[in-house]
Structure 1
Amino acid sequence: MSFFRNQFANVVEWQEFRDDMIFYKWSNREIKKGSKLIIRPGQDAIFFNNGKIEGVFRDEGEYDIESQIIPFLSTLKGFRFGFNSGMRVEVLFVNTKEFIEKWGTKNAINIPTLGLPGGMPIRANGTFHFKVNDYVALIDQIAGVREQYVVEDVKIRITSILDQLLMKWISREGKDMFNLQSNSFEISKGIQEDLDMQMIKSGITITGFNVMSFSYPKEIQDMINKNASHGMVGNVDRYQQISLTDGMASGKMSGGGAASDMAGMMMGMNIAGKMLNQMNQQSQDQPASSQNAQSPSQPNAGEQKRPNFCPNCGTKTGEGNFCSNCGHKLV
């Protein structure tokens, strides 16, 4: 009798395990009397029959199915192995780790931008994290019809809708198209929430999503770099300090190298700027000094002084041009 028992016995385990495999289904075989279940670290074993979960086993180790597994199955507790009969049940092994995968846009995404009829062509890349969290949904949506599921399958599903989500969250609330990196956290958070709503229906949750960098066409990137350099030149003293420091550090100050030429140019710009500031200051001060030079108490050239007493009758004069007593012209 023991000969037949060993002949029919089998081992239920995850065969040909791969790190990028999300689940593996042991199916279409009978579990015989004396069979063993092997659960390795980072695996859960799910017994299900006709799409219904019978039991979930999470602790790693080796188990006798007849004595240690069947008593815990929901509807198969009373099952008894016969001499030549086995138990028809499927076992799904699930990789419980959190998967981390890189992503990148295959083609540039044209983001609607004011002044650019065709939109701003932008590329992006980063990482996303996910794991299995709902075994019922996983079996109902995927494992019921597939023998295995790998990371690439999830990546294909995510990248198929990623362009639309990037466009949605980049365009939202008028973000600065030339400085998207400053909004990467908000964009990443929004995309993660939308992706999670899509994938959770299949029993998978998106635990993280990150935009590492945005990239622009070369012409636009050159324009951004040029604008940044102009902003730096606006602080002449700072730019001169950096140029001189770089020149001394590179040892090119003594020769006719680029650092020396740049330092000379910046020193000339600095002197010219100071001269312009002085000229502007003098032109601003000139009207004030001209006004101060002419005192209100001094009469203009050609203007005669009005006498205090009428030369004709001796009456004290007032503000008028003629004497109030005799009518003599005073001025």
Structure 2
Amino acid sequence: MFFRNQFANVVEWEEFRDDMIFWKWSNKEIKKGSKLIIRAGQDAIFLHGGRVEGIFREEGDYDIDSQIIPFLSTLKGFKFGFNSGMRAEVLFVNTKEFIVKWGTRNAINIPHPQLPGGIPIRANGTFNVKVSDYIALIDKIAGIKSSYYVEDIRLRITSVLDQLLMEWITREGKDMFNLQANAFAISNGIREDLDMSVTNDGLSITKFTVMSFNYPEEIQKMITKSASHTMVGDLGKYQQIEMVNGMASGKVQGGGTASDMAGMMMGMNIANEMMKNMNQNNQPNQGQGQGQNQNQGQPQNQGVAPAPQEGNKTRPNFCPNCGTKTGDGNFCSNCGFKLV
């Protein structure tokens, strides 16, 4: 005795994985009473004889006999027999946009006039890919494959990526030692070329990003050193800042040689600055102070100061007799007083 739905089956994506781009339900006969299950983020495409019969995008459970077959292009009038079913394939497509990491397999030697062998550069980043054309996807990929993974598209992209990186770095990399500054233009150019290479297969590269360019260690050290010298115009000030930061952070401390030398250098610099400031402040007031001291006790209208002490051979900045600023001579240019 046979039950009505004894041969009924459920058509669904049985092996759903987050890294699967599509999966094909095939080699099974759909019986009367069978159901189709479409989950969120999936589209179901009915195929018969390699031809697309219908595309279903709304998630839910469907009775194939009453809700699916009436919408199939050439199978609208199909009737299930008691023991016979419908031979068909159902392609489930993951509709999400995949974010895929990439990295260069080997260092790319970018030509440079100062380096005969070129600059070996590695790079890494991400690209976004999604299915954009079901007909092309079935014609070029799904027609011969039962499933397709993110890893498959990643391997395909990276196989041509080295060549595209060299082309766009050479075109947009005006400063080979600071490629990150042109990463946006390089990324856009590569995305357009990659998208053109996969569009015939029903795929689309919606975004391509270069996260970083990596140089050999010796070149990176040279770039870092050059950048630090460029950023710090006053090397002396840079050394002072570094010493202060080191002592403030505790990296330069204790009684070791580094601490002693840092303290000595800071002390010398501070002393030099203090002496310089004192000389600058005292220079214009020195003569005025001497004139005031020398003129104490004398009538204001005379302006006569006592002669310098005997044995003092230093030429004063102002005449002790009349207060006139002295020059290079041994006598005052105003009153003739002997200065030395």
Q: Assess same fold via TM > 0.5.
A: yes
In the TM superposition, residue 244 of structure 1 has moved relative to its aligned partner by 1.1
Aligned to 1:148: 147
Q: Deviations over 1:226-266 (max 9, x none)?
A: 21232244323355234313321226356446476457558
In the alignment, is the contact (CA less than 8 A) between 1:131 and 1:204 conserved in 2?
A: yes
* Alignment-mate amino acid for residue 243 of structure 2: S
* Shift in alpha-carbon separation, 1:267–1:103, aligned structure 2, 3 A: farther
Aligned to 2:214: 215
Aligned to 1:186: 185
Aligned to 1:139: 138
What's the % identity of the aligned pairs? 67
Aligned to 1:112: 111
* Shift in alpha-carbon separation, 1:63–1:232, aligned structure 2, 3 A: same
Following the alignment from structure 2 to structure 1, what is the Cα–Cα distance between the partners of residues 136 and 147?
15
1:90-109 → structure 2 map (5 Å cutoff):
90-109=89-108
Runs of 4+ in structure 1 deviating by more than 3 angstroms, as ranges, are: 253-272
The structure in which a higher percent of residues are helix is 1
Following the alignment from structure 1 to structure 2, what is the Cα–Cα distance between the partners of residues 21 and 38?
18
1:1-331 → structure 2 map (5 Å cutoff):
3=3, 5-173=4-172, 175-235=174-234, 236-250=236-250, 252=252, 255-256=255-256, 258=258, 261=261
Give the TM-score normalised by the residue count of structure 2: 0.74
How many residue pairs get aligned? The number is: 273
Following the alignment from structure 1 to structure 2, what is the Cα–Cα distance between the partners of residues 146 and 163?
27
* Alignment-mate amino acid for residue 28 of structure 1: N
* Shift in alpha-carbon separation, 1:122–1:74, aligned structure 2, 3 A: same
SS of the aligned residue for 1:219 comes to helix
* Alignment-mate amino acid for residue 220 of structure 1: I
Structure 2 gaps, min length 5? 277-340
Following the alignment from structure 1 to structure 2, what is the Cα–Cα distance between the partners of residues 114 and 263?
46
* Shift in alpha-carbon separation, 1:66–1:254, aligned structure 2, 3 A: same
In the TM superposition, residue 222 of structure 1 has moved relative to its aligned partner by 1.1
SS of the aligned residue for 1:6 comes to coil
Aligned to 2:301: none
Following the alignment from structure 1 to structure 2, what is the Cα–Cα distance between the partners of residues 203 and 168?
25
In the TM superposition, residue 175 of structure 1 has moved relative to its aligned partner by 1.6
Structure 1 gaps, min length 5? 276-331
In the alignment, is the contact (CA less than 8 A) between 1:246 and 1:259 conserved in 2?
A: no
Following the alignment from structure 1 to structure 2, what is the Cα–Cα distance between the partners of residues 261 and 181?
39
Following the alignment from structure 2 to structure 1, what is the Cα–Cα distance between the partners of residues 209 and 263?
42
Following the alignment from structure 2 to structure 1, what is the Cα–Cα distance between the partners of residues 54 and 98?
25
* Shift in alpha-carbon separation, 1:171–1:251, aligned structure 2, 3 A: closer
In the alignment, is the contact (CA less than 8 A) between 1:10 and 1:32 conserved in 2?
A: yes
Q: Deviations over 1:122-166 (max 9, x none)?
A: 000111111111100000000000000001100110000000010
